[in-house]
Every structure is written in C-alpha cells, then in structure tokens.
Amino acid sequence: PEQYSLLASRKVSEAGNQSLLTYLAVNTIAFHQNGVPLEIKAVKWLKGRGVGGKDRMVAYTNDKKYVRYPLVPLQNVPVQYRGLYQIATYYGKLGAVEPVYKETLSYVDGI
C-alpha cells in the first residue's frame, strides 16, 4: 500500500500532469500490443512477506491460456434424515494456481 500510494502521488515530471502509476500502466509493450493497460493494484497481504521481511510484488498474466485453477465438481453425501429435516451435504476440492509456463508468474521481493 505504501508503494502504491507513492506511485499514485508522484508526478512523472515537474511539467507533467500524469502520475507515475498511470504512466507505467499506459506506456508498456503490453498496452501497445493489446490496447489494454496494465492493472496495478495494492495488496495488503504482500507487505512483509518477502525474504527477510521485505515487501513482495507479484506479477502475473490473467489469461486462461497461461494460468489454470483446476476445480473438482461438487460431490454429495447421501441425504440424512433427522426428524422433519433432510440434510444434504455437498463438498468439493479446491486446486492450486498452476502456471502453464514459468514466465507467466513472478515474485519480486524488496520493492
């Protein structure tokens, strides 16, 4: 959050009217190829999570072709009868984020 507020408040130049955050989001190779600016967001859970207690940055590609999150379909337990009530329990398993290529996910410590 501190780094994000620094990017949002610092101007590109003295004569400029654009913050460093908007400059970084628009002036990238990805923006000129795709026409979509970068999404830069602050995440409080990455503060102090890097090596040596330093802050961490995560960069990833949010595209289904490059990042997978496998889900198992919901499964059910047979219905349990308790008096007038019928209890139907469902459960599912969650997977983990799987990058298809190692270049699509990056952790940077000490920002």
* Residue range 22-74, pLDDT digits in tens: 888 888 888 888 888 888 888 888 888 889 998 888 888 888 888 888 888 89
Dihedral of CA atoms 56, 96, 59, 4 in degrees, nearest 10, equals -50
pLDDT at 16 > cutoff 80: no
* Residue range 96-111, pLDDT digits in tens: 888 888 888 888 888 7
pLDDT at 20 > cutoff 80: yes
- The DSSP call for residue 17 is -
Mean pLDDT within 78-98: 91
